[in-house]
């Protein structure tokens, strides 16, 4: 392939993929850094051709699958992804003739799901948590595996277990950083998602000099930072190898988002939330000493995260009004939102362990599972009935006539079911609750489930 990195003339977009001859930029941070001596560089991964650090991984996994004969012309890819790997796979797939199906959590930012569709990906939306949890019942990972097992046309590259994920960073990110800092890097910092970045880059840098400190940064439990995983989520992640890192550190959402805002406003660096998180972790752990040279991975830029910004900075980035103007929600929207919030109360939900106990009693609640029929068939709580949320309005006659009936609504993660509680209450049902954490929580607590034969 013709690639002239000095003139930046290429035969194909794939020539732009980074390596030590064509590295993503390292930019020194000047204004947000709390140090006098320690020098901090950001490695700007959105300079990859499809906008994120994951382009390296997508390209390396596809190359490996082609070389091993697993991926041949005419085959299709299926990959669960919180977005960036999907975007990379979709575009490299488009360039090479492989289509992509991607099962995704509905909690993934709308921007990423929309762009994936725009790129031609078959997006299958699931009621799953923000990061797909291996083994979770409706998990994007389980769904993709099933597709790959049952349909020989599909190949799952599985970024969560594929050694070519850290391998991509061992071959490119690590050598780039070593060359760009002239071997001077002393600390390498990355956010933890699949852990491909930290494991592969860290391993390469440590092989060059045992003195490089490798620091992994993770968010808190229940976080709202797309692409990264809390310690509990990391426990299920195969490429998480904490014994190969010098330390890991937690950063809470507020620290990450506040620093992300400062990076954009004070450094003019268009970094996204997980970049703010990684940098905050660096500031928490690295001492201010002469000779320290820190490289922090900035995985992608802010443009994919409008909805996250609206949530974390409602004063600066208010949501649109219904009439399309953008100076914040209209009075009526606020009124309706408040009304909805006020209608919810703590007696509306029940913990799954309590629900399990109640099911053993004489007055067992009727469980209405509002997930899709397909998800329900796969796994459900014995004795439940299934009325998918989308059909609920049309199938209300299937509910008991007696408005005193004890009813518990169940969904994947307890989000949709809360809204259905309000719908049933508005129809006069007085004894209706939602199962906290949904079927995911039920399974996590190892409570009994059943499957359609």
Ligand X SMILES: Cc1ncc(COP(=O)(O)O)c(C=O)c1O
Task: Give the active site residues.
Answer: 54, 274
How many positions of this chain bind ligand X (CB under 6 A)?
A: 17
Stretch that binds ligand X, among 141-149, 221-229, 253-261, 420-428 (CB under 6 A): 221-229
Q: Of residues 48, 197, 372, 384, which one binds ligand X by CB under 6 A?
A: 197
The reply to whether 410 sits near ligand X by the rule CB under 6 A is no
Q: Of residues 48, 84, 308, 420, which one binds ligand X by CB under 6 A?
A: 84
Query: Closest CB to ligand X among 256 and 370?
Result: 256
> Is the distance from CB of 217 to CB of 227 less than 8 angstroms?
no
3-state SS string for 336-379: HHHHHHHHCCHHHEECHHHHHHHHHCCCCCEEEECCCHHHHHHC
Q: Of residues 103, 139, 167, 193, which one binds ligand X by CB under 6 A?
A: 193
Phi (first) and psi of residue 48, to 5 degrees: -70, 155
Convert residues 293-312 into a mask of x (bound to ligand X by CB under 6 A) and - (unbound): ------xx------------
Q: Of residues 86, 132, 191, 438, which one binds ligand X by CB under 6 A?
A: 191
Query: Closest CB to ligand X among 137 and 167?
Result: 167
Total residues belonging to the chain: 453
The Cα 101–Cα 54 span in angstroms is 17
Stretch that binds ligand X, among 188-196, 203-211, 366-374, 418-426 (CB under 6 A): 188-196
Q: How far is the CB of 49 from ligand X (least distance, A)?
A: 16
User: For residues 8-30, b (16+ Cβ closer than 10 Å) or e, as one string?
Assistant: eebeeebbbbbbeebbbebeebe
- Measured CA to CA in angstroms, residue 402 lies from 360, 365, 396, 398, 422 at distances of 22, 13, 13, 12, 17
Stretch that binds ligand X, among 12-20, 108-116, 136-144, 192-200 (CB under 6 A): 192-200
The Cα 416–Cα 399 span in angstroms is 18
The reply to whether 172 sits near ligand X by the rule CB under 6 A is no
Q: How far is the CB of 58 from ligand X (least distance, A)?
A: 11
Query: Closest CB to ligand X among 71 and 87?
Result: 87
Stretch that binds ligand X, among 70-78, 224-232, 251-259, 263-271 (CB under 6 A): 224-232
Query: Closest CB to ligand X among 240 and 376?
Result: 240
Q: Let me know if 402 is exposed, middle or buried by CB neighbors in 10 A (0-12, 13-18, 19+).
A: exposed
Q: Of residues 60, 129, 274, 308, which one binds ligand X by CB under 6 A?
A: 274
Query: Closest CB to ligand X among 188 and 429?
Result: 188
Q: How far is the CB of 47 from ligand X (least distance, A)?
A: 14
| Sign of the dihedral defined by the CA atoms of residues 280, 284, 289, 291, in that order | negative
Query: Closest CB to ligand X among 196 and 281?
Result: 196
- Measured CA to CA in angstroms, residue 53 lies from 13, 123, 127, 267, 297 at distances of 16, 21, 26, 20, 9
Closest by alpha carbon to 188, among 272, 120, 247, 115?
A: 247
Q: Of residues 43, 54, 56, 433, which one binds ligand X by CB under 6 A?
A: 54
Please enumerate in sequence order all residues whose Cβ is within 8 A of that of 421, keeping only pairs 6 or more positions apart, or say none.
Answer: 344, 348, 349, 409, 432, 433, 434
* Angle between helical axes of 331-343 and 416-426 (0-180°, round to 10): 90
The Cα 188–Cα 202 span in angstroms is 7
Q: Of residues 24, 82, 213, 301, which one binds ligand X by CB under 6 A?
A: 82
Q: Of residues 192, 293, 294, 432, which one binds ligand X by CB under 6 A?
A: 192
Residues that bind ligand X (CB under 6 A): 54, 82, 84, 191-197, 226-228, 272, 274, 299-300
């Amino acid at each position: 392939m013709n690639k002239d990195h000095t003139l930046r003339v290429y035969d194909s977009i794939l020539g732009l993929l980074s390596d030590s001859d064509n590295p993503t930029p390292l930019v020194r941070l000047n204004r947000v850094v709390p140090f006098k001596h320690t020098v901090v560089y950001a490695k700007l991964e959105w300079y990859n051709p499809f906008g994120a650090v994951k382009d390296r991984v997508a390209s390396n996994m596809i190359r490996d699958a082609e070389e091993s004969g697993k991926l041949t012309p005419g085959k299709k890819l299926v990959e669960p992804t919180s977005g960036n790997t999907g975007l990379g796979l979709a575009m490299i797939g488009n360039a090479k003739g492989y289509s992509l199906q991607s099962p995704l959590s509905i909690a993934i930012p709308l921007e990423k799901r929309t762009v994936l569709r725009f790129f031609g990906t078959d997006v299958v939306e699931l009621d799953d948590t923000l990061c797909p949890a291996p083994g979770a019942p409706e998990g994007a990972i389980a769904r993709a595996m099933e597709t790959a097992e049952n349909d020989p046309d599909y190949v799952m590259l599985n970024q969560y277990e594929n050694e070519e994920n850290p391998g991509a960073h061992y071959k490119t990110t690590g050598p780039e950083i070593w060359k760009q800092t002239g071997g001077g890097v002393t600390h390498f910092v990355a956010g933890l998602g699949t852990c491909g970045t930290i494991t592969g880059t860290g391993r390469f840098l440590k092989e060059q000099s045992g003195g490089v400190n490798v620091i992994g940064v993770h968010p808190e439990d229940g976080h709202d930072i797309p692409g990264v995983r809390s310690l509990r989520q990391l426990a299920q992640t195969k490429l998480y190898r904490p014994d190969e890192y010098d330390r890991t550190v937690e950063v809470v959402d507020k620290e990450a988002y506040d620093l992300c805002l400062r990076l954009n406003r004070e450094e003019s660096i268009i970094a996204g939330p997980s970049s703010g998180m990684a940098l905050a972790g660096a500031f928490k752990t690295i001492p201010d000493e002469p000779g320290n040279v820190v490289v922090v991975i900035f995985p992608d830029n802010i443009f994919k995260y409008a909805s996250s910004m609206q949530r974390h900075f409602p004063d600066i980035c208010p949501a649109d009004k219904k009439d399309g103007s953008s100076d914040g929600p209209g009075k009526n929207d606020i009124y309706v939102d408040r009304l909805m919030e006020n209608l919810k109360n703590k007696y509306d939900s029940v913990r799954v362990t309590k629900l399990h106990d109640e099911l053993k009693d004489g007055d067992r609640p009727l469980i209405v599972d509002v997930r899709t029929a397909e998800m329900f068939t796969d796994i459900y709580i014995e004795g439940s009935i299934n009325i998918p949320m989308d059909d609920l309005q049309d199938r209300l006659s299937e509910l008991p006539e007696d408005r005193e009936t004890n009813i518990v609504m169940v969904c994947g993660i307890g989000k949709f079911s809360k809204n259905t509680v309000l719908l049933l209450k508005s129809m006069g049902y007085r004894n209706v609750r939602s199962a906290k954490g949904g079927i995911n929580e039920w399974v996590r607590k190892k409570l009994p489930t059943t499957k359609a034969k």
